[in-house]
Structures are given as structure tokens and as C-alpha cells.
Structure 1
Amino acid sequence: MSEPSISLPFDELTRAIQARRSIYGAISGLRLDRAAPGEAWASLPYRPVFVGDSETGVLHGGVVTAMLDESCGMAVQLALDGTRAIATLDLRIDYQKPATPGLDIKAHSICYRVTRLIAFVRATAYQESEDDPVATATACFMIDANRTNMLIDRAEAIATALPTLDAPDDPAGPFADSPFARCLGIQVGADDTLVMPFSRKIIGNPILPAIHGGITGAFLETTAIVGVTRELGIRARPKPIGLTINYLRSGRALDSHARVSVVKQGRRVVAFEAQAWQDDSAKPIASAFGHFMLRQTPDLEEG
């Protein structure tokens, strides 16, 4: 028998969505500051654990990816009735400029079209002005992605104490200068792979449970940075330009593995593909295609 339909006044729906978000979204400190039907304004306070490069203090690109994924999801729920489970189908991030260290990140997401099964969203991440974005995004979400009721089921699922986001010191490890990668527990595995252990802090839907789509994107981006740097033999970390993530299966309560391959190498830009899987590499949970900007070197052909 199906769950009864719930129809809340919009103000109550907004409060319910704010209270019953993903576990990662809750512990990251992401706030829903303002809402309208199909539209969300959110903010993420700056925290040292979000840093991707300790030398510069710049946020990890995956932090922006996860924030945009979460805020886009809130916009979709604000276009619906809040009860229907949604899942990200694809997410494209275009990085406009590095986030200024020490400043909060804000996001404005608009669900501009909803069909019977698919919702379409666009979003902007910024700091001081929406006209000067850090990143922009477009995304598609599946509606009724599973049988969970987001207003009835979720409260019990997150009743236990929430984990915290911390970055254990590892001065000799491969991510000594990347607090966010250490926060996610990312490790170097065998055969040029990276491994992200499952933990409660990376959960998106706590009812299933399922890994947060934005965190899967952050894992793929980290894998791409490490793999491209290693394969090209460069010392300077490449700068993300754009990343498109396709979500193929739900990330279950299992460790995730990822590998990257270089598709095209030029003097200034490199194109890459990455895949993430869990217990079977032939059944990826997500794939990503993107571009990095490289520091110009004389031995690389112009792309």
C-alpha cells in the first residue's frame, strides 16, 4: 500500500526540507537561507576542513560540487511536495574562478522545469555577488527514484548522533596538503586506483543509505587530479575547468574505488575520463568527463 500523500503549506515544507536533508549536507553546515517554489538560496560557511590545497587555502573543488548538488536537490524538492525521493542523474560543473579563502560560499539554484519523472535545475555558486560566480552548474534529477518518503521516513533515519567533519593529520601521506581529501578518508589503492572508505559522513540519503552524489563527484575529481598529475609527471596541480558527472547506480554502504585515464593531452589543457565503482569494476556507480588547465610546458603539443 502506498504512503498517503502529504501537502504542507510552503513555509512548513521549507522548514521540513531544511531539517531533513542529507547527512553530509547537515554536518557540512549548509544552510537554506531563503526559499521560493522551485528556488533555493543556500550558504556554506568557510571551514579549514574544506581546503583542497593547504598552501593556498583554496577550497577543494569537490566542496563546491557537493554544495551545488545539495542546493539543486533542495530546489527540486521545493518544486514538488517534499515527500518524493529524488536522485541526481547528471551534474555539470563549470569552474569560473577559485573561491577566495576564508569567505563563505553561497548558491542560488532554480528548478526551471519538472516533467513526470525528471527535474531540470541550474545553479550558481558565488561569494560576494551572484554576478561574479565561483562556479555554475546544470543538473537533471530523477523523481520518485526509490520508495522512500522524504518527510515521513527521514526523521527516524537521522535520529542518531551525527558524525563530524575532520581531517586527521597525515604529514607523510599523499594528501598531506589536502584536508578535504583526508576528511573523506581517500587512500591510494592498487593498480593506480584511489579508494574512498564508506562512512556515515558521506551519506546523502540516510534511509537507504546511499552515498551523497556530490561526494562521489568530489571523489572522482580528486582521482582525476591525482591520476593526471602522476601520468603527466607534473609537479603543479592542474586547475579544474569543467566536470560532467553521470550517476549510473546508487552508491551503497560500501567502499568506492576510482580510476582516471587521459583522453587528450595538450600544452595547456588535458581532457580526462574517470570511473567510480564499488564491488564490481564492470558496474560503475558514476563516470566523469572533464578538463584541467595545465601550466604551460614546452614539451606538450598545443591542444
Structure 2
Amino acid sequence: MTDTQPSTAPPSFDALAEAIRHRRSVYGHLSGLRMDRYAPGEAWSTLPYRPVFVGDSDTGVIHGGVVTAMLDESCGMAVQLALDGTRAIATLDLRIDYQKPATPGLDIKAHAVCFRVTRSIAFVRATAYQEQESEPVATATACFMVDANRTNMLVDRPVFAGEPAPLEAPEDGGGLFASSPFARCLGIRAGEGDTLVMPFSQRIIGNPVLPAIHGGMTGAFLETTAIITVMRELGVSAPPKPIGLTINYLRSGRALDSMASASIVKQGRRVVAFEARAWQDDATKPIATAFGHFMLRQEQD
């Protein structure tokens, strides 16, 4: 009698794409992000507009962190479509260049391309847009680690089906984030001294197996911290406009509350350079750092 070994053949590309479509991050599912089209190493996705994504109620503009998280997730899809789906990936660094504010009320689309994969690293670029890809809201470049941990997306991750549960933004009255629904959705609050705190919750999970915080959520947290720091230190009431943001991921964000602080590196008449860092149980061991630029809003803006 001959023993029969289970098949280890990789799935067909269409089966891989279907797995990626339904076995993604928790936040990706809750946000409503969907993959519309796919090709080897290439993904087209759409994020339906939701009022909870607004970063400034006075203007109705989408929070930059929403765009950051969407591009991070879309880049991850492209990387998985360049692999066989069984290998875990993690974002090493992500650079976002904001071209223009997203028009309130419109969906955001993304096109991500994994253009090179080495033994350990995958390189990706992506564009976020609303009506035409030639008129981007933001562009991104990213590097992902391949075989970042021992989880297997095709086997270990749960299948998400049906409509996602609504994302809520509790009211904050005259609090720090009264005009930022997305910051309230993430539960961000003031901490000790000049720090902010992002409590751990199911909605910010990236890899549900570990579990680990979504890289885009960490990026959104760092950007929010920098915005609050600039407004406080410069005594301005209007949130600054993000120009560019580079995030370096140093270790996984675990199922713990995260803290962050930021500082102004250089201030010009209209542009401010900042740096920010996030950590969990040890401030000397950050989970991520960021550097970027804001443009200060003028009265005529």
C-alpha cells in the first residue's frame, strides 16, 4: 500500500486572488476596502466614502491617515499577488506624498504595483485617486519584508464575508478631537505630558493571527500626533495640510495600547518639518518612527 501525501501545489492565480479578496486585515474589512481587479503583482481597489473617515469637520476633508492605511493595504495586496499567498508579509517602510485633498463625498481608488521581489524584500508603488489615476490624491512607495512571520494567509487567516460592521466615531464635545471623526473612531486620546494614546481594539488589527496592529493605523496615529503637536506648539486653530510622510516600521505593534509623541524639526513661513515616534510598553523601543512635512493653512485657504 502506498502512502498518499497531501498536495502542496500552489493555488491557481484566481484562487489566490479570491483568498486575498476575503482573507485580509481586520481594519481592511471594516473600512469597506475592496479589491476590484487584479493581475500578477498588481491590484486595483476602492474605499467607499464614509463620514467617519473625515479628519477635519470644518472642511470635510478625509484624514490623511485613511489614505495612508488604504495605500498600505493596497500595496500589501499587490505583494501577495506577486507571491503564492502562503508567505507572511510586513511593511518595512512606507512613504506617502499627498498631491491634493480628497474631494469630500467621493470614493477613493488605488492602483498598486509590486514591481520587484527579492528573496526577502518586495518593492511596491501605488497611486490613490478619485476620478482619474492621472490626477492622484496621493502616491506611495513601500518596502515589505517577505516571510515576516510564520503565519499563512491562505490557512490561518479568517474569511471575511458580508457587509462590514459600521465604524463609529463617538462624540467628543469640546475635546481634543471634536472636529476629527477619524481620530475619535480610533479612540485616540491625550496621554501624559505631550503624548497621545491609541488604545488597542479589534478595529485597528492588521494581522488577526498574531494579532498585530495594522501598519496604516500606526501611520495614522503618528500623523495625528504630529498634527496635534504642530497646532499646540504654533498656537494655530486649523489643522495643517500634510505634504509628505515617511514611516519606518521597527517592530510589530502588539495587542497593547500605543503611545506617541512628536516634535517640530524645522519651521518656515508656510512649511513645517516634523518627526514622530510611537511605542508601547517601553519608550526606548519604538514600534515606528515618522518624518514629514506639513503646510500651514492661511486664512484664505
Output the amino acid matched with 2:58: E
Q: Normalised by the size of structure 2, how large is the TM-score?
A: 0.94
Output the amino acid matched with 1:120: F
CA distance in 1, matches of 2:298, 2:165: 42
CA distance in 2, matches of 1:245, 1:39: 22
The structural deviation recorded for 1:171 is 1.3
Which secondary structure state, in structure 2, belongs to the residue aligned with residue 151 of structure 1? helix
2:68 to 65, 70, 89: 65
CA distance in 1, matches of 2:7, 2:56: 48
Output the amino acid matched with 1:251: G
CA distance in 2, matches of 1:5, 1:28: 33
1:193 correspondence with 2:195: yes
Output the amino acid matched with 2:13: F
Match of 1:301 in 2: none
Asked if 1 retains the 8 angstrom alpha-carbon contact of 2:97 and 2:138, the reply is: yes
> 4+ runs of 1 displaced by more than 3 Å?
3-6, 161-164
Match of 1:281 in 2: 283
1:131 to 115, 129, 134: 134
The structural deviation recorded for 1:233 is 1.3
1:47 to 46, 50, 68: 50
Which secondary structure state, in structure 1, belongs to the residue aligned with residue 69 of structure 2? helix
CA distance in 2, matches of 1:62, 1:262: 19
CA distance in 1, matches of 2:176, 2:237: 13
Q: How many residues align?
A: 293
1:224 correspondence with 2:247: no
Match of 1:258 in 2: 260
Match of 2:169 in 1: 167
2:212 to 187, 210, 213: 210
The structural deviation recorded for 1:296 is 5.6
Match of 2:3 in 1: none
CA distance in 2, matches of 1:5, 1:142: 23
Q: Which runs of 5+ in 1 are unaligned?
A: 298-303
Match of 1:239 in 2: 241
1:292 to 291, 294, 301: 294
The structural deviation recorded for 1:143 is 0.2
Match of 1:107 in 2: 110
Which secondary structure state, in structure 2, belongs to the residue aligned with residue 78 of structure 1? helix
Match of 2:250 in 1: 248
1:116 correspondence with 2:119: yes
Q: Percent identity?
A: 77
The structural deviation recorded for 1:73 is 0.1
Asked if 2 retains the 8 angstrom alpha-carbon contact of 1:164 and 1:201, the reply is: no
Match of 2:152 in 1: 149
CA distance in 2, matches of 1:65, 1:91: 9
Output the amino acid matched with 2:23: R
Q: Which runs of 5+ in 2 are unaligned?
A: 1-5
Q: Normalised by the size of structure 1, how large is the TM-score?
A: 0.94
CA distance in 2, matches of 1:227, 1:6: 52
CA RMSD of aligned residues (A): 1.7
Asked if 1 retains the 8 angstrom alpha-carbon contact of 2:32 and 2:164, the reply is: no
Output the amino acid matched with 1:289: F
Match of 1:77 in 2: 80
Output the amino acid matched with 2:212: A
Which secondary structure state, in structure 2, belongs to the residue aligned with residue 145 of structure 1? coil
TM-superposition CA deviations, 1:171-212 (whole Å, max 9, x none):
121101100000000001111000000000000000000000
CA distance in 2, matches of 1:173, 1:96: 30
